[in-house]
Amino acid sequence: MSASRMILYQQVIDFGIVSDLVAFYGVSFDNVEVEHHEITMWDIYDALRVLETSTAYKTPTSSSMKITTDYGNNLAKASGYFTVAEAGEYTFQAYGDDRAVFDLQKKDGSTLRSLTVDYAKTPADAYKQSGATHFKVYLEANTPYAYTIIANNNGGEGWADVAVLRENENASWEKIQTVYGNLDDVGKKANRSFTPPEPAYVRPSKLAASDSVSLKGVTVLSTPQGVIPNGDAASQNEGDPNNIVDGDISTYFHSSYTDSNRTPFPHDYIFDLGSEQCFNSMEMLYRITGDDCGVIGDYEIYTAMDYDGNQGDWKLLTKDTSRHGNGNASKDIKISFPAVTARYVKIRVLNNRGTCQSLQK
């Protein structure tokens, strides 16, 4: 993520894990959560039946109506809201690779559906496809409508989108430009003119330009057992949790690799943001030196408004259970999610990407 994007779009709160840095960026409203499911049916109707009882294995976000699946045999699903600028009759057509479904919920609670049964590169292709469906509906201007879109793919990276055809003399297929994950956010605009506050320290140039800032006030409340100083010179500072929030990219926290005091997985890292903060994305960046032993595997992220050092009102924010044993999973983790307000954040690391029993953060 570039420095210009961080400053132009969003307020930045940075703190570190897996080397030195986790960054929370401020709010943008035009995004939806995308569920990823391991569903391999070719027939779209079979896939939809399995989806009814399926559990997502990860939930990233998308800032547009178009969604993508992971590489291979997978299904992705997103739900949200959209509006149209002008009232009128609109024809909806789903299209994508390999199969696409678009559902629109009417005000009376009924649902209209457009789908394809095979690959369709354009809405015009899908409109002519045998077995595909489309629908026509009258929409009011600037009124939120709930929708669900599904991409079902076999091989490669799949995707799904929807286009609308308005009934007028210059009719042509058009895409829906803006989507919202929450009904209360419909019509809101992200702050594009944010001026960063006076920084506690400047974000290291290793990760971004020198004018990107990190805010002070984040405290590490809990970690697994860190490395206890021993005969290894590097061990003298590896176990200090303050390395996670010191703003120095050359320092890091390393969980213990000694059998006698190693904390078994899962590893919980709990942070106090100092006050209630609103954020919608995060980075977890691996240490800049060393082997791959401590790369994060599967993880869960929780937030809470209250935490007394023992109990908290933790709510699951997002998770990824596809990293363990996956050598292609990136060392650095960058994720987005619907905007959330919280004071406390807990990152629960379930395992390593590989087979090591310690983590380097």
Q: What is the pLDDT of residues 227-242, one digit of tens each?
A: 788 777 666 777 788 7
Q: Do 210 and 87 share a structural domain?
A: no
| CATH code of the domain in which 343 resides | 2.60.120.260
The SS3 of residue 50 is helix
Question: Shortest CA distance to 12 belongs to which of 223, 206, 182, 247?
Answer: 247
CB contact set of 85 (below 8 Å; sequence gap of 6+): 141, 142
Task: Look up the domain containing 283 and give its range.
Answer: 3-28+192-349
The SS3 of residue 225 is coil
Single residue among 157, 185, 213 that ends a domain in this structure: 185
The SS3 of residue 219 is strand
Question: Shortest CA distance to 313 belongs to which of 333, 284, 342?
Answer: 342
As a whole number of angstroms, the distance between CA 91 and CA 84 comes to: 13
- Give the mean model confidence (pLDDT) for residues 18-33: 46
Question: Shortest CA distance to 77 belongs to which of 39, 113, 127?
Answer: 39
- Tokens found for residue 321: 């259970």
- At residue 249, the pLDDT reads 65
Q: Do 110 and 52 share a structural domain?
A: yes
Q: Do 196 and 220 share a structural domain?
A: yes
pLDDT at 292 over 60: yes
Single residue among 119, 152, 185 that ends a domain in this structure: 185
Distance of CA 279 to the CA centre of its chain: 12
Q: What is the pLDDT of residues 69-108, one digit of tens each?
A: 988 778 999 999 999 988 999 999 999 998 999 999 998 9
DSSP result, 292-313: STT-B-SEEEEEES-B-SS-B-
Q: Do 180 and 162 share a structural domain?
A: yes
Query: For the whole model, what pTM was predicted?
Result: 0.50
Single residue among 185, 207, 234 that ends a domain in this structure: 185
Asked whether residue 264 is domain-assigned, the answer is yes
As a whole number of angstroms, the distance between CA 299 and CA 268 comes to: 10
Q: Residue 339: pLDDT band by 50, 70, 90 thresholds?
A: confident
Domain count, the chain: 2
Asked whether residue 278 is domain-assigned, the answer is yes
As a whole number of angstroms, the distance between CA 176 and CA 186 comes to: 14
Asked whether residue 357 is domain-assigned, the answer is no
CB atoms within 10 A of CB 253: 30
Asked whether residue 361 is domain-assigned, the answer is no
Q: Do 333 and 200 share a structural domain?
A: yes
Q: Do 167 and 38 share a structural domain?
A: yes
- At residue 213, the pLDDT reads 38
- Tokens found for residue 88: 């009128």
As a whole number of angstroms, the distance between CA 258 and CA 239 comes to: 12
Asked whether residue 203 is domain-assigned, the answer is yes
CB atoms within 10 A of CB 259: 7
Q: Do 230 and 343 share a structural domain?
A: yes
- Tokens found for residue 317: 């924010």
Cα distances (Å, whole numbers) of residue 76 to 41, 60, 150:
13, 10, 6
| Cβ atoms of 25 and 277 closer than 8 Å | no
- Give the mean model confidence (pLDDT) for residues 210-239: 70
| CATH code of the domain in which 109 resides | 2.60.120.1560
